A and B are shown apart, each in its own frame.
Chain A
Amino acid sequence: MVSSDPSIWIMAFFTIAITSLAFRDNPLAKIAEHAFLAAQAGHYVTMAWRNINKIGLEPLSKGSIIMLIPMLFGVALYTRYSKKYIWVSRYPTAMMVGIGTGVTVRGFVEFQFTQQIIDTFKPLNSFNNIFFVFAVVICLLYFVFSLTPQNPSIQKPLSYISTVGRYLMMFALGAAMANTLTQRVGQYAGRIMFLLYDWLGLG
């Protein structure tokens, strides 16, 4: 039985309007697209306000003066819109980049280098293990761009190896493409579920 709830109808309208964007650009799709950009920006402001309030303003009002620093730095971000004082916004930006880069890069050596190398120490006693170790080595050779031996006698075999590496990676990219398509089917099927079950009341 088709739903009688007006908000379900609004939701169905927006779902169909955005989907129509794939068929042809039309005014409905434009209305939906503009509504999306605006609603998302408004939602960011709402969620940002909660964080600023709870972690910044309240402790500050309760007397922890130290919170004055992040709050002032946060306000300083908005000097980006003044021609004269745009340089002031570099201070909060520099701090954010420092924190972000430091937090991410500090773990990278163990996370994406040593632990990955340790796990590639596979006993060369089975086809899969031998294939695995040499696939990693060959693909890694493909990514060596400057420190390559100069004398031509080595360069020839090296170029064959990096071609094999390219085939191995195109193989993996083919699988990744299929998985990407599958994920998008799974995501969009969620919208079909809404239209069928909540809107049209079928199934």
Chain B
Amino acid sequence: MSLIANGKVIDLAFLIGIWGISAVYILYKERLKFTIRRMVAIDAIEEAVGRAVEMDRPVVMNIGGGGLLRGEYALPTMAGLTVLDYVSRIAVRLGARLIAPMYSEGGVETIPVATEIIRDAFIAEGTIENFQPEEVIQFLPVQASVMALADREKPAANIMIGYYWHESCIWAEAFGRVGAIQVGGTTNLYQIPFFAGACDYVLIGEEIYPVSAYLSKDPRLISTIAGQDTFKWISLVLILLGAILVTSGNEWLTNLLKI
């Protein structure tokens, strides 16, 4: 009666491998110096803010209602906060007016963090005096209040990155309706179709993490992404190898993976 349950040996090996590689990459992140490839999403965000400056209309950025208390929702919310930091710096530098509506029901703990981030952007540009905290407006994700903001402000750009539930189509429609360029991304697989439909550029699922890693240059996040990429390459090779072997009737790899 072997120690490891039958049919689970290879899975345990993969688990140890995935965790091991992540640990090694994180430990030697300075020396390994991974980088994130330039992503179309970042051009889309820059273009959206640039358009807002040209048309002298505000930029709206929202990070969803996920909050910071549960890992599954905290990570996309933190990615949203990183992009908020980047967007607010560009907006302040180019003189575009930034509005960051936040949920007052879900994830209220993010409001002080977001306010701090926007204040830092103003401090960095030395224009702290025209930072009005009420720019960080609290909203229930009720259609009326979102629609009202969109119709009143008529923003040129709307960026939504974070964790969303079924209110995502309320946000997407409200700002798409007034002609804003929209960039949307969430890890909630059920909400990606709405962003794909309503936004000019959609970040599909975990694509929001490399975007935030690229912007924040956080070596730990970059090395975590590199760890996952290593195993994406491994699964790519396994799939191609397995398909070719199975085509010639050889079940060797299939049985190996089932040990």
- Which residues of A line the B interface, CB within 8 A? 21-22, 24-25, 97, 101, 106, 109-110, 113-114, 117-118, 120-125, 129, 133, 136-137, 140-148, 166, 169-170, 173-174, 176-177, 180
Out of B8, B247, B254, which one reaches A110, CB within 8 Å?
A: B8
Query: Are the CB atoms of A146 and B210 closer together than 8 Å?
Result: yes
Instruction: Report which of A24, A106, A110, A140 forms a contact with B236, defined as CB distance below 8 A.
Output: A140
Contacts of B15 in A (CB 8 A): 106, 109
Bound together, the chains give a CA A133 to CA B235 distance in angstroms of: 12
Q: Give complex CA distance A180, B14 in Å.
A: 35
Residues of A within 8 A of B34 (CB): 146-147
CB distance A117 to B257 under 8 Å?
yes
Bound CA–CA A101/B74 (angstroms):
14
In the bound complex, residues from chain A placing their C-beta under 8 Å from that of B222 are: 146
The stretch of B60-68, B78-86, B94-102, B238-246 in contact with A is: B238-246
A-B contact pairs, 17 of them (CB 8 A): A25-B144, A106-B15, A109-B14, A118-B257, A121-B242, A121-B245, A121-B253, A121-B254, A125-B247, A137-B239, A142-B204, A145-B37, A146-B210, A146-B222, A147-B34, A147-B226, A174-B193
B242 to A169, Cβ gap below 8 A?
no
Query: Closest CB of chain B to A102's CB: distance in Å?
Result: 12
Q: For A114, what are the chain B residues with a Cβ–Cβ distance below 8 Å? A: 10-11, 14, 257
Instruction: Flag if B254 contacts A148 (CB, 8 Å).
Output: no
Partner among B193, B230, B244 whose Cβ is within 8 Å of the Cβ of A147:
B230
Given A109-B14, A110-B8, A177-B194, decide whether A121 and B246 contact each other with a Cβ distance below 8 A. Answer: yes
Contact A169-B210, Cβ < 8 Å, known A114-B257, A118-B254: no
Interface of B, secondary structure class, is helix
CB closest residue in chain A, given B192 = A173
B136 within 8 A of A: no
Within 8 A of A (CB), among B132-149: 142-144
Residues of chain B at interface, number, CB under 8 A: 54
The answer for the CA separation of A141 and B235 in the assembled complex, in Å, is: 10
> Within residues 213 to 239 of chain B, which ones have a CB less than 8 A from any CB in chain A?
213, 222, 225-226, 229-233, 235-236, 238-239
* CB–CB A120/B243 < 8 A: yes
* Assembled-state Cα–Cα distance A47/B10 (Å): 41
Q: Decide if B246 touches A122 in the complex (CB within 8 Å).
A: yes
Q: Are A22 and B143 interface neighbours, CB within 8 A?
A: yes
CB atoms of A123 and B229 under 8 A apart: no
Q: Is the CB of A118 within 8 A of B258?
A: yes
User: A136-B239, A140-B236, A145-B39 known; 9 other A-B pairs, CB under 8 Å?
Assistant: A117-B238, A117-B242, A118-B257, A137-B239, A143-B232, A146-B34, A146-B229, A147-B226, A180-B194
**How far does the Cβ of B182 sit from chain A's closest Cβ, in whole Å?**
15
| Cβ-closest chain A residue relative to B193 | A177
Whether A140 and B142, one on each chain, are in contact in the complex, defined by CB atoms closer than 8 angstroms, is no
Chain A nearest CB from B25 CB (Å) reads: 10
Task: Report yes or no: A21 in contact with B247, Cβ–Cβ below 8 A.
Answer: no
Which residues on B sit within 8 Å (CB–CB) of A97? 71
Which B residues are in CB contact (< 8 Å) with A22? 143
Cross-interface CB contact of A117 among B37, B196, B235, cutoff 8 Å: B235
Most buried by B among A24, A117, A121: A121
Within 8 A of A (CB), among B52-110: 71
Residue-wise, chain B 28-44 has the 8 Å CB interface mask toward A (1 for contact) of: 00000011110100000
